[in-house]
Structure formats: C-alpha cells, structure tokens
C-alpha cells in the first residue's frame, strides 16, 4: 500500500518559508561586498570612475589579475604571508597543546587565577600595545623582520589556543588515557596516541583560526615592516593605494588573491568546524 504524505501544516510552512527568506537575505548582505569586489576587479579604471557605471562590468578585463603580478611582487607577498601565518600557527600549537593539556588534566595552585589571566589577555588588541611591541622588537633587532611577526602573531593567538584546546580536552574522558597507562603508556605517550587523535576536530579548528588570524593581521605588520621583501600580502597590496590615486581594479584583484587561501582552508575543514567549536565550548 502506497504511503500517503500528509501535507505540511500551514503554520509550519509559513515559519519555514520565513526562515529561508531571512537566511537568504543574510547571505545576500554578507556576500554582496564580495560580489562588488569581484566585479570591480574586472573593470577598467575609466569604467570604475564613470558616472554612468554599473556594478557589473561592461567588458570584463581578466588582464587585471595578470597585471598585478607585473606591477607588484605578489608572489613574494604571498610567500611572506604563508611563512608568517604558518610559523606563528606552528609555534602557537606547539606551546598551546601542552599548556591546554596541563590545565585540563592537572590541578595546581593558582590554576583559576591563571585561567583568568588567559581570558584577560584576550582583551588587549595588538594595536593597544603597539608602542611597547615596537620598542621590544627594536631592542631585539626584530623590526623589519619576518621572524618578529611570527613571534608576535604566535603570542597574541596563544591565549585563544590554550582556552579552546582546554575545552576540547575536557570534553574527552580521562578514562581513555588511564586505560592507555594501564597498557604500558606513560602520560606523554597517552596524550599523543590517545588524546590528540580523538581531539583532532578541535585541534584542526583551532589551527585554522590561528592561521586565519595571522594571515589577516595588518596593523603590527604595517608598523614593523618597511621593506617590500618582507611585507605580507595584507600590507603589500597597499602598493596600489597611492598618494594621488587608488587603483581600485588592482587593489580588489589583489584582495581576491588574499582571500582565496582562507576560503580554501575553510572549505577543507568545514566538516570538522562545528564539532571542533562545540567541543571547545565545554565548561570546565
């Protein structure tokens, strides 16, 4: 006997329609600036400043994406950003994983105060401490140096790393590690062989967020780096922002290259993102 599908109640149908409408509007509002950026990157300078111009390009100029590689050392800028973001992410994770493990599995005096200090440290943006940062970097001869940016980005992402990974580790039962110790593993082996594989979604989520934060950092890099050879992409694309004129078509074309790695990374970890953030939100 064929199953007869009951029609959806009117109230439920209206609520679902309203929900889809709201989500669609939000998506349009969020994505519209990126749509304008892509369209502007495909225009000529004359069309951008034309009074009769429209959002869509009349005749797309794909050559703009080729021109920016000839007018600026884009390859060097991207390589610098990859080195800075990758290096700071590696340092933050290497230091953050043991710290988060200790805070989630061990009890010691001053633990609550230390956790409070971690939260408070998140209140200070790099721009607030910019003068102090510059003085310290200059004293260490790390101004106009990629290594200095790596250390700074790692330091400012350390608190976030510890806090999120601690929540991830707390969501995993300690009995799994205890079973591993019974089988002959020491604490370090239990952490690497049992805890970290289970906590992989939270670790990947944390890693991606640190990388994106370091990739997008602008203010400190602008103040510390003055040589084109060491500029990250976020600072380097300012080459199209001149004193007398802004080459919008090149600036937006370069910006598209700047967001492509971030989009690719987000798409690659999208399945683990929700699980990792949920695990990191466990109260402990």
Tell me, yes or no, whether 32 and 170 share the same domain.
no
| pLDDT, tens digit, 9 for 90 and up, residues 239-271 | 888 767 888 889 999 989 888 888 887 777 666
- Residue 265 CA to residue 85 CA, distance in Å, equals 13
Tell me, yes or no, whether 133 and 177 share the same domain.
yes
Q: Does an H or E element contain 53, and which?
A: none
- Residue 74 CA to residue 253 CA, distance in Å, equals 11
Tell me, yes or no, whether 30 and 98 share the same domain.
no
Tell me, yes or no, whether 40 and 71 share the same domain.
no
Residue labelled with tokens 């910006």: 255
Tell me, yes or no, whether 150 and 33 share the same domain.
no
- Is the pLDDT reported for residue 151 higher than 90? yes
Count of CA atoms in the C-beta half-sphere (13 A) of 283: 0
Supply the pLDDT for residue 280.
Answer: 44
Q: How confident is the model at residue 1 (pLDDT cuts 50, 70, 90)?
A: very low
75 DSSP 8-state letter: H
Tell me, yes or no, whether 139 and 186 share the same domain.
yes
Supply the pLDDT for residue 8.
Answer: 65
SS3 at position 246: strand
| pLDDT, tens digit, 9 for 90 and up, residues 15-44 | 888 999 999 999 999 999 999 999 999 988
Domain count, the chain: 2
Tell me, yes or no, whether 194 and 135 share the same domain.
yes
Q: How confident is the model at residue 281 (pLDDT cuts 50, 70, 90)?
A: very low
SS3 at position 241: strand
Closest CA to 64 of 41, 84, 86, 32: 41
Residue 272, domain member (yes or no):
yes
The mean predicted confidence, pLDDT, of the chain is: 83
Closest CA to 129 of 161, 162, 152, 160: 152
183 DSSP 8-state letter: T
CB within 8 Å of 181: residues ≥ 6 apart: 187, 190
- Phi-psi map region of 143: left, alpha, beta (phi>0 left; psi -120 to 50 alpha): beta
Q: Which of 124-128, 170-174, 227-231, 234-238 has the lowest mean pLDDT?
A: 124-128
Tell me, yes or no, whether 266 and 152 share the same domain.
yes
- Residue 140 CA to residue 10 CA, distance in Å, equals 69
For 210, the domain range is 67-280
Residue 242 is part of a domain; what is its CATH number?
1.10.3720.10
Tell me, yes or no, whether 16 and 96 share the same domain.
no
Supply the pLDDT for residue 215.
Answer: 92
Residue labelled with tokens 């598209």: 256
């Amino acid at each position: 006997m064929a199953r007869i599908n009951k029609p959806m109640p009117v109230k439920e149908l209206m609520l679902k329609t309203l929900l889809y409408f709201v989500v669609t509007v939000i998506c349009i509002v969020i994505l519209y600036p990126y749509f304008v950026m892509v369209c502007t990157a495909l225009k000529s300078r004359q069309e951008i400043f034309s009074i009769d111009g429209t959002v869509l390009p009349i005749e797309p100029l794909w050559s703009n994406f080729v021109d920016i590689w000839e007018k600026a050392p884009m390859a060097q800028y991207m390589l610098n950003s990859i080195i800075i973001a990758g290096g700071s992410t590696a340092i933050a994770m290497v230091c953050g994983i043991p710290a988060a493990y200790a805070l989630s599995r061990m009890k010691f005096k001053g633990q609550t105060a230390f956790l409070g200090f971690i939260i408070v440290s998140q209140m200070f943006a790099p721009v607030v401490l910019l003068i102090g940062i510059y003085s310290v970097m200059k004293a260490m001869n790390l101004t106009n140096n990629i290594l200095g940016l790596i250390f700074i980005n790692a330091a400012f992402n350390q608190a976030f790393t510890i806090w999120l990974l601690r929540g991830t580790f707390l969501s995993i039962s300690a009995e799994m590690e205890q079973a591993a110790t019974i089988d002959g593993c020491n604490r370090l082996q239990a952490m690497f062989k049992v805890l970290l594989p289970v906590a992989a979604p939270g670790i990947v989520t944390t890693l991606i967020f640190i990388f994106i934060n370091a990739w997008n950092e602008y203010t400190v890099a602008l103040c510390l780096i003055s040589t084109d050879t060491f500029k990250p992409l976020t600072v380097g694309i300012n080459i199209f922002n001149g004193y007398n004129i802004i080459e919008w078509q090149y600036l937006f074309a370069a910006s598209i290259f700047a967001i492509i790695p971030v989009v690719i990374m987000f798409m690659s970890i999208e399945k683990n993102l929700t699980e990792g953030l949920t695990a990191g939100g466990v109260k402990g």
